Amino acid sequence: MRHRHFYRFIRIIPIFIVAALLLSGCSVLQETAPASNSDPELTVYFIDVGQADGALIVCDGETMLIDGGNAADSDLIYSFLRNHGITHLDYIVATHAHEDHVGGLADALNYATVGMAY
């Protein structure tokens, strides 16, 4: 039982690494962003797709979807985006090509426009 929790924790580490690299300071992605005295607003949603992975990061209006769970979760990802009013994803990240990471991205790609895919 203890190993299972450790494995789940280790699996989310790539999510944080990718997010940190792509959204560090949030304004790194916007070369023409105006200077601001306030800290960027960062919200991370971990989407419950069972044993698979799914996360949405929103930082100062920019959005990044990381993985989408299994193919059976595709409708869940679509509904999550729709319920949060997200029709454009600035970034979509598939950490690797296993079905439990990319399977649920199909409806997200059909619903929302995407700026950059990794």
DSSP state of 117: E
Residue 2 has pLDDT above 60, yes or no: no
Domain residue spans of the chain:
2-26+40-117
Separation between Cα atoms, residue 69 and residue 101, nearest integer Å:
5
The CATH classification of domain 2-26+40-117, taken from the options 3.60.15.10, 2.40.30.10, 3.40.50.150, 1.10.10.10: 3.60.15.10
Q: Give 19-30 pLDDT, tens digit per residue.
A: 554 555 554 334
pTM over 0.85: no
Answer yes or no: are the C-beta atoms of 88 and 71 closer than 8 Å: no
Average pLDDT, the chain: 78
